[in-house]
Structure 1
Amino acid sequence: MHTGSAVLPARTARTARTARPVRPVRAVLLVLALLAALLAAAVPTAGPAHAAVPDRWGFAYLDNPTPPPGYVPDPSRQWGSWPSPATNPVTVDQLGTGSYVVHFPLIAGPGGVAHVTAVNRAGTWCQVAGWVAAGSGIDVGVSCHRPGGALDDSPFTVLYTASSGAPLPPGAAYAYLDSTAGGTLLDQYNSSGGGNSSFHGATGSWKAWLPGVGGPGYLGNVEVTAVDPGQGARCKVTEWGPSSSGQTFVVACFDASNAPFDTEWTLSYSVKRAVHGPAIPPKSFGYLWYNGSVPPATTFNSAGAVNTLTVGVPSTVTLPGVAVPADHAQVTAFGSGAGWCQLAQPWVRSSGAVQLYPICFTPGGGPTTAPFFTAYTSAF
């Protein structure tokens, strides 16, 4: 699968968005034989940045890393905003070793962001290759790479979401952006109504500014994903600068050789909201940031329970009272260096609690303990 991203003028606060061409995607679908199709569409202009509930969203967990054509991944770990997702499921096609296209039905439209997290203990990571409106749905390309960069089959979790609408109530926040390598925003959303921005610094380094959300201390959760249709790429958060006027995140991206690398990337930030943006429902969600400790306002549980963390390889994050399928999880690495984090295995539900198993890797691909963000949500 190959994608490209148009370079558009930066969007500013409370101004109408310019029309954004959707990424062209050449999808080779395995239906009796490999079928090549170049997908390209011009999307309509979207409104100003602001939203409480996502207009369109879907998530899934690919439990079979070598799926047959039209594979329906784990039904208990997929859902979406389209009609009857239980009987109209997400499907996945494998395009080749480590290369997949995830088909979310009936949610075609402009903008949005996608995130992906690999699920394995071997250090194979996954990135978004791109996404495109395909007929009435959204196709998200995913590629997975073993340490060193070769394509490799892996299970993964994947999320797509797009928002517009009214501001959130006080105390809650949700924002996202999709940045080109040069810092131009392809799409963005901010529940305060402000305009997010991305500033490119040295190779593989950016500052993301999200005005009007969060607070002067560490508050909420952030997830970041590399978007690149070519070589292996990984992105992480290296710094977080909270303030009363907004949040600054430093994002760093690396190629498969661990060198700083300029690529497209997505970022989502949430405070007392699920990772894909909704208020209630879902009633069952939570998140936790580990940076050597757990800052109090960066661990949240919608059931009012206390989340716990056991640091290890992998670590175990337990969120009591929120285990409700269909559900979803994402992990992002934090800190300096080219290491990365993901999930060691699928999350486990037991007696109403969910356990997540984040695992991190050194730049050489060895498992280690390191800081991470993790987020969990149910659809309900």
Structure 2
Amino acid sequence: MHARTVAPSFRPVRAVLLVLAMVAGLMAAALPAAGPAHAAVPDRWGFAFLDNPTPPAGYVPDLTRQWGSWPSPAANPVKVDQLGVGAYVVHFPLIAGPGGIAHATAVGRTGNWCQIKGWSTAGTGQDVAVNCYQPSGAPSNTLFTVLYTTSSGTPSPAGGSYGYTYSAVSGAVLAQYNSAGAVNTVSHGSTGIWKAWLPGLGVSTAAGNIEVTAVNGIQGARCKVADWVPGASGQTVVVACFNAANAPYDTTWTLSYSLKRAVHGPAFPPKSFGYLWFNGGVPANTNFNSVGAVNTLAGSAPFTVTLPGVAVPSDTAHATAYGTGPGWCGLAMPWARTSGTVQLYTLCFNPGGTPVAAPFLTAYTSAF
């Protein structure tokens, strides 16, 4: 595999040093004990790509980049309404119910980012509200990908690991799932820092994918993976969140972890998915392709992640920044599909909103 080594270009600032100290302190704390829980593949899920930043009422976004677990998704499409500048609600039909998590990723080159405002049952469907912002923090009309998923029941025999957590500011877990049947926990450190513990998932070396999204209905917030410590007994993930002024900020957030599973939880099917973590190199077990091909990485700002053999519409992609500073990542443009190969264009930004080469995690999945 070709792993391009690119040093992060974030400049040290006071906020970064504070976060580094917070991470060090939090990682030294004792890990919470595991306990019993439910486990399995998704009960209900949906994803979409908003391809029009100023959609008319009841807009149906790109049909080749949306799908879900409800009956006849092609005949019952996702719809989007715009509520105001940079404010949207995505209507997933026929998957009403409590729990679950949502993720959103901005798509574009301007440095805009998106967060989840919240999600709730709406009649027979599930509504997910997404808010997007300029680097300054002002609301801004933005393209984005969004997914909602919820899991319960018994483990899938297909293998791999999957878990998610929806955390309150305090660290109280508002929703969680763990395919090992354990209970995920979160502890809050200093402002804008949390440690998530996912017992029983993964392996002792870095393997799999992590996605993190801020959830906030009051102001703009960005969250990322600040550190990841794999272990034979589970995965420890430090989450760092910032406001638009690049200061550490307390907000709610969602995190999902997947090993040999798609970003929304299932494994085989879908038969076509993959992920990659770039942290200056590409750890072997964080570079996965479900058809056994080798993903490659090229470029820098944006990076081009090429996943051979898995490009099957309908599909989606997400990206999360990695590191302690207040920079963030998204997708520079919609992913491209050519002869079965998909290319993701992951683009990261420094605290001023300028494109930079920086660490990230990215994931792609087809519905099939």
What TM-score do you get using the length of structure 2 for normalisation?
0.90
Q: C-alpha displacement at 1:171, in angstroms?
A: 5.3
Partner SS, residue 67 of structure 1 = coil
1:13 is the counterpart of 2:35: yes
8 Å Cα contact 1:322/1:352 also seen in 2: yes
Look up the match of 2:197: 209
Aligned-partner Cα distance in 1 for 2:180–2:301 = 38
Aligned-partner Cα distance in 2 for 1:313–1:80 = 32
Q: C-alpha displacement at 1:143, in angstroms?
A: 0.3
Aligned-partner Cα distance in 1 for 2:224–2:139 = 20
Look up the match of 2:134: 146
Aligned-partner Cα distance in 2 for 1:370–1:169 = 36
Q: C-alpha displacement at 1:136, in angstroms?
A: 0.7
Look up the match of 1:49: 38
Kindly tell me: are residues 256 and 347 of structure 1, through their superposed partners in 2, closer, same or farther at Cα, counting changes over 3 Å? same
Partner SS, residue 35 of structure 2 = coil
Look up the match of 1:74: 62
Q: C-alpha displacement at 1:312, in angstroms?
A: 1.2
1:283 is the counterpart of 2:271: yes
8 Å Cα contact 1:49/1:188 also seen in 2: no
Look up the match of 1:102: 90
Aligned-partner Cα distance in 2 for 1:311–1:207 = 32
Aligned-partner Cα distance in 2 for 1:169–1:148 = 47
Look up the match of 2:354: 366
1:178 is the counterpart of 2:200: no
Moved over 3 A (4+): 168-171
Q: C-alpha displacement at 1:168, in angstroms?
A: 4.0
Amino acid at match of 2:38: A
1:259 is the counterpart of 2:247: yes
Give percent identity, aligned residues only. Answer: 67
Deviations along 1:296-342, whole A, 9 cap, x unmatched?
A: 00000001100000031100000000000000000000011000000
Deviations along 1:64-88, whole A, 9 cap, x unmatched?
A: 0000000000000000000000010
Amino acid at match of 1:376: Y
Q: C-alpha displacement at 1:148, in angstroms?
A: 1.1
Look up the match of 2:19: none
Look up the match of 1:22: none
8 Å Cα contact 2:34/2:199 also seen in 1: no
Aligned-partner Cα distance in 2 for 1:311–1:259 = 29
Q: How does 1:22-41 map to 2 (within 5 A)?
A: none
Look up the match of 2:333: 345
Look up the match of 1:190: 178
User: Unpaired runs of 5+ in structure 2?
Assistant: 1-31
Aligned-partner Cα distance in 2 for 1:12–1:129 = 30
Aligned-partner Cα distance in 2 for 1:257–1:168 = 43
1:236 is the counterpart of 2:224: yes
8 Å Cα contact 2:275/2:362 also seen in 1: yes
Aligned-partner Cα distance in 2 for 1:168–1:290 = 29
Aligned-partner Cα distance in 1 for 2:140–2:294 = 37
1:297 is the counterpart of 2:319: no
Aligned-partner Cα distance in 2 for 1:227–1:311 = 31
Amino acid at match of 1:209: W
Amino acid at match of 1:13: G
Amino acid at match of 2:253: W
8 Å Cα contact 2:168/2:253 also seen in 1: yes
Partner SS, residue 357 of structure 1 = strand
Aligned-partner Cα distance in 2 for 1:280–1:105 = 24
Partner SS, residue 85 of structure 1 = coil
User: Unpaired runs of 5+ in structure 1?
Assistant: 1-9, 15-47
Look up the match of 2:365: 377
Look up the match of 1:36: none
Look up the match of 1:319: 307
8 Å Cα contact 2:322/2:361 also seen in 1: yes
User: Looking at both structures, which has the greater relative contact order when contacts are Cα pairs under 8 Å and sequence separation is at least 6?
Assistant: 2
| Aligned partner of 1:134 among 111, 122, 143 | 122
Q: C-alpha displacement at 1:170, in angstroms?
A: 8.2
Aligned-partner Cα distance in 2 for 1:208–1:117 = 21
8 Å Cα contact 1:282/1:379 also seen in 2: yes
8 Å Cα contact 2:158/2:268 also seen in 1: no
Q: C-alpha displacement at 1:11, in angstroms?
A: 12
Look up the match of 2:14: none
Aligned-partner Cα distance in 2 for 1:198–1:276 = 21
Amino acid at match of 1:274: A
Kindly tell me: are residues 93 and 12 of structure 1, through their superposed partners in 2, closer, same or farther at Cα, counting changes over 3 Å? farther
CA RMSD after TM alignment: 1.3
What TM-score do you get using the length of structure 1 for normalisation?
0.87
8 Å Cα contact 2:45/2:69 also seen in 1: yes
The size of the alignment, in residue pairs, is 337
